[in-house]
Amino acid sequence: EAAVTQSPRNKVAVTGGKVTLSCNQTNNHNNMYWYRQDTGHGLRLIHYSYGAGSTEKGDIPDGYKASRPSQENFSLILELATPSQTSVYFCASGTPTGSQNTLYFGAGTRLSVL
């Protein structure tokens, strides 16, 4: 069973503060992803990575940075948090096989920016 662990599970931050969301996977998957989920918008891709040292911009990268220091770990960084970044954030991992790309998601981090 694929295992993706996110921390913290819940976070309250102040506007202008720095927030780091962490993700760890034990599946040895090459790719890792950060999505945010908002009511009415489904899941939107923020950043992703093809392996250690690599980060790529997703569809909504503004206001976010990402870091992939190792195969197992992928962080999402909000340098200057804003209330519009209040959301539920999901990390996922996967290794594309041919045309298939099954993602395994963590349980999510609920972030509130006040």
Partner 1 sequence: QQQVRQSPQSLTVWEGETAILNCSYEDSTFNYFPWYQQFPGEGPALLISISSVSDKKEDGRFTIFFNKREKKLSLHITDSQPGDSATYFCAASNTNTGKLTFGDGTVLTVKP
Query: Which CB atom, from 66 or from 106, has the smaller least distance to partner 1?
Result: 106
Report the site for partner 1 in 87-106 (rule: CB under 8 A): 90, 92, 94, 96, 98-106
The dihedrals phi and psi of 57, each to the nearest 5 degrees, come to: -80, 135
Alpha-carbon span 25 to 6, nearest angstrom: 9
Query: Which CB atom, from 7 or from 15, has the smaller least distance to partner 1?
Result: 7
Nearest in space to 35 (alpha carbons), one of 114, 94, 82: 94
Least distance CB 15 / partner 1 (angstroms) = 26
Within 10 angstroms of residue 15's Cβ, the number of other Cβ atoms is 12
Residues that bind partner 1 (CB under 8 A): 4, 31, 33, 35, 40-45, 48, 58-59, 90, 92, 94, 96, 98-108
